[in-house]
């Protein structure tokens, strides 16, 4: 159900419509805050979550309106309905940010096939499914931006987190192929490839070299989104050089690379 964040029961949307799929994500909210000015922001979150407090910072950042929608990423059959509901109730999706995902427990996933499957399903299968639904809506219009979060963990899948890393590797390949397929259509696919991000998802873990914050990731993402530049963006940029050099040196060096 759509819930307005302003006092009126049905705010009048305006400007481009930004949808954050995974609307409670720290990175997703940081991106939304930077894109809010003059736009309508939709926070698509798991049913039953109270996200009313998340609207105020977006309104303060200049959002024309902030609305919430129920969205369960793992329910693939619901993706088309959710997208159609947003576009019929609020308007055409201009920018879609896929900010949902789970880190999971590597040790559990190594022993429990269901746990491994859950990580792969949320971090790869559900992302690929939603990207496909959104791309099919945007292609006939000849416009739109899709943001799919990859990770350096998928650039060289390591012993420490190979289940999560393999999911990100799959998503990275899928999104990169989609970006190529959509070239010339007017639809832009942005693929952020951050290293270790300090935040709720990594709480209690030791930060890796070249770590970043949600704000730093959001700054890099929004720069690409607003300029409509497709493709991969390394965050921070030094990781691109680091990985290029690492490919030329012996295998043990990879084990010391950031997660």
Catalytically active residues are 164
* 64 within 8 A of 17, measured Cβ to Cβ: no
Residue 233, beta-bridge partner list: 192
Pair 51, 43: CB distance under 8 Å: yes
Q: Is cis: bond before 99, omega within 30 of 0?
A: no
Cα–Cα distance, 102 to 221 (Å, whole number): 20
Cβ atoms of residues 201 and 184 within 8 Å: no
Strands 40-45, 3-4: pairing is: unpaired
Contact 149, 192 (CB under 8 A): yes
Query: Which residue in the block uniquely carries the two structure tokens 């909210």?
Result: 29
The two tokens of residue 163 are: 């289940």
Q: How far is CA 2 from CA 24, 32, 43, in A?
A: 16, 17, 10
Query: What dihedral do alpha carbons 70, 79, 83, 163 form, nearest 10°?
Result: 80
Instruction: Give the Å distances, CA to CA, from 71 to 23, 33, 152, 174.
Output: 9, 20, 27, 22
């Amino acid at each position: 159900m759509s819930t307005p964040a302003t006092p009126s029961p049905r705010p009048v949307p305006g400007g481009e419509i930004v949808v954050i799929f995974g609307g409670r994500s720290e990175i997703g909210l940081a991106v939304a805050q930077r894109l809010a000015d003059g736009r309508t922001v939709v926070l698509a979150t798991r049913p039953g979550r109270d996200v009313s407090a998340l609207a105020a910072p977006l309104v303060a950042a200049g959002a024309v309106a902030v609305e919430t929608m129920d969205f369960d990423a793992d329910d693939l059959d619901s993706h088309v309905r959710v997208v159609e509901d947003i576009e019929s109730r609020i308007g055409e999706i201009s920018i879609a940010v896929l900010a949902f995902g789970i880190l999971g427990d590597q040790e559990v996933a190594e022993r429990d096939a269901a746990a491994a499957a859950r990580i792969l399903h949320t971090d790869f299968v559900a992302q690929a499914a939603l990207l496909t639904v959104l791309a099919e809506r945007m292609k006939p219009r000849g416009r739109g931006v899709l943001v799919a979060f990859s990770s350096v963990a998928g650039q060289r899948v390591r012993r420490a987190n190979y289940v999560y890393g393999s999911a990100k590797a799959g998503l990275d390949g899928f999104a990169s192929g989609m970006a190529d397929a959509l070239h010339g259509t007017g639809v832009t696919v942005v693929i952020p490839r951050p290293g270790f991000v300090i935040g709720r998802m990594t709480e209690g873990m030791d930060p890796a070299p070249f770590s970043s914050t949600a704000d730093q990731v959001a700054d890099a993402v929004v720069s690409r989104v607003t300029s409509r530049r497709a493709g991969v963006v390394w965050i921070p940029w030094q990781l691109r050089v680091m990985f290029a050099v690492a490919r030329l040196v012996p295998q043990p060096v990879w084990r010391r690379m950031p997660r």
